[in-house]
Amino acid sequence: MQQDLQAQVRVSLWKRILIGRNPRRTMVRAAGLLVFSYIVFRHVLLPVRVVGRSMEPSYRDGSINAVNRLAYVFRKPRRGDVVGVRFSDFHIQYLKRIVGLPGETVAITNGIVYINGQPLDEPYVKDRDSWELAPVLLPDDNYFVIGDNRGMDQRLHDFGMTESARIVGKALW
Amino acid sequence: MKSATRIAALVILVGLGWLGWKHFFPSEETRIRRLLDDLAQTVSIPPGRSTVAAGLAVDKLLNYVTPDIEAVFDVRGEGQFTLSGREEVRDAAMAAHRNLSNLKVEFLGINISVAAGKQEATVELTVKATESGTKEFFVQEMQLHLRKQDNRWRVYRAQTVKPLRL
């Protein structure tokens, strides 16, 4: 009889650890957590894994980040923001830094970015190769994005202007 | 209870009928999606594929394109190149099979727009190609233009779309 009582106490303790004192409340909480996680990680914060070296040293190949889709709900993208630029598939994105804003002229001479003829101060760039780009006038609603790794071969680095509709959000860190 | 059972049975029957209708009378968009699924499998290169199987796969690939196919690719580091006609597509596909031991190709983010007459369609998609055993992958956004010939959709033009333009 004492053994039965001990068995009952053991079952009750395990049950409490696994599903709580009130299973129904636990299920409601679990369902709420699932819905919340789905909404946040599917529609607000998109987890991303960085592939490639074009944003080094700021973001290393294989590092994890998240793109905040709500970053530009109340304001427009700004120079210096690191943003996700989507392909037709929403979950494949470039991670690049905005250096040019709509209406500006962007050029690169000997690795230095010029905005409307003025050199841009870029403290996040640690290494520069002698990149060259003839002046590009950005149309309305187009931003110029580029990676931070300017020491790599220019031909292997994707950069250029993109419409704001392709900008998914801002990197979280 | 009897009426509830009847209603449930009716709902199930309607559901099955709707699924059957969708399967046997698919919309043009569904037909194009199935074609693209098939095309992605056809252009993939499974490991250990024999030369004969590669030849058959290339022949199957050519059935997805019109004789006057024009494909314009712009690959980072390689520049732009164009394939015109089935023969050039065949040569490029055979070269891919010779040089690559395995390749998994997926078409993601597919957006299909069928023209009013349902004889032409435009597809935007992202091609993702991965060599198995590696984490690295190649992505390229493409725009495909399709035409209906003999009640079958075929690609007559394919071109790279660059999310970042200079």
The model's confidence at residue B2, banded by pLDDT at 50, 70 and 90, is confident
Give CA–CA dist B60/A172, Å, rounded: 46
> In this model, does residue A82 exceed pLDDT 80?
yes
Which one of A88, A136, A155 has the shortest CB-CB distance to B109? A88
* pLDDT tens-digit series, residues A93-127: 999 999 999 999 999 999 999 999 999 999 999 99
A58 as an active site residue: the answer is no
Identity of residue A37: S
* pLDDT tens-digit series, residues B103-159: 999 999 999 999 999 999 999 999 999 987 777 788 999 999 999 988 999 999 999
Size of interface A-B (CB pairs under 8 A): 60
pLDDT at A75 (0 to 100): 96
Q: Which residue in this structure is represented by tokens 């009897």?
A: B2
Structure tokens at B33: 């999606």
Q: Nearest CA of chain B to the CA of A8: how many Å?
A: 40
Nearest to A169 by CA among A59, A43, A50, A10: A43
> In this model, does residue B46 exceed pLDDT 60?
yes
pLDDT at A20 (0 to 100): 80
Contact (Cβ atoms closer than 8 angstroms) between residue A113 and residue A96: no
Average pLDDT over residues A166-170: 96
Q: Do B164 and A92 touch (CB under 8 A)?
A: no
pLDDT at B48 (0 to 100): 85
State chain A's maximal CA–CA distance in angstroms. 90
What's chain B's average pLDDT? Answer: 92
Identify any residues that bridge with A66 across adjacent strands, giving them in sequence order: A47
What does the DSSP assignment read for B129-146?
A: EE-TT-S-EEEEEEEEEE
Q: One of A54, A63, A130, A170 is an active-site residue; which one?
A: A54
> In this model, does residue A5 exceed pLDDT 80?
no
**Closest chain A residue to B78 measured between Cα atoms?**
A155
The model's confidence at residue A4, banded by pLDDT at 50, 70 and 90, is low
> In a mutagenesis test of the B interface, which of A87, A91, A162 is the best target, namely the one with the most B β-carbons within 10 Å?
A87
Which one of A90, A155, A160 has the shortest CB-CB distance to B164? A160
Q: Do B126 and A88 touch (CB under 8 A)?
A: yes
A96 as an active site residue: the answer is yes
Q: pTM of the prediction?
A: 0.83
pLDDT at B100 (0 to 100): 87
Residues 6 or more apart whose CB falls under 8 angstroms from that of A124 comprise: A58, A97, A148
Which one of B125, B163, B165 has the shortest CB-CB distance to A94? B163
Which residues does chain A have within 8 Å of residue B135's beta carbon, measured at their own beta carbons? 51
Q: Nearest CA of chain B to the CA of A93: how many Å?
A: 9
What number is the ipTM of this complex? Answer: 0.80
